[in-house]
Amino acid sequence: KARLTSFACTNVIEMPLSKFQKIEKINDDEIIVTADVRDTVDLTHWIFSLGSNITVLEPEFLKQNIAQMIIQMGENYK
Is the bond into 59 cis (omega within 30 degrees of 0)?
Answer: yes
Q: Tens of pLDDT along 43-76?
A: 999 999 999 999 999 999 999 999 999 999 999 9
Q: How confident is the model at residue 6 (pLDDT cuts 50, 70, 90)?
A: confident
> Is residue 12 packed enough to be buried (19+ CB in 10 Å), middle (13-18) or exposed (0-12)?
buried
Distance in angstroms (rounded) separating the CA atoms of residues 25 and 75: 35
Q: 45, 16 in Cβ contact below 8 A?
A: no
Closest by Cα among 43, 41, 4 to 24: 4
Whole-prediction pTM: 0.88
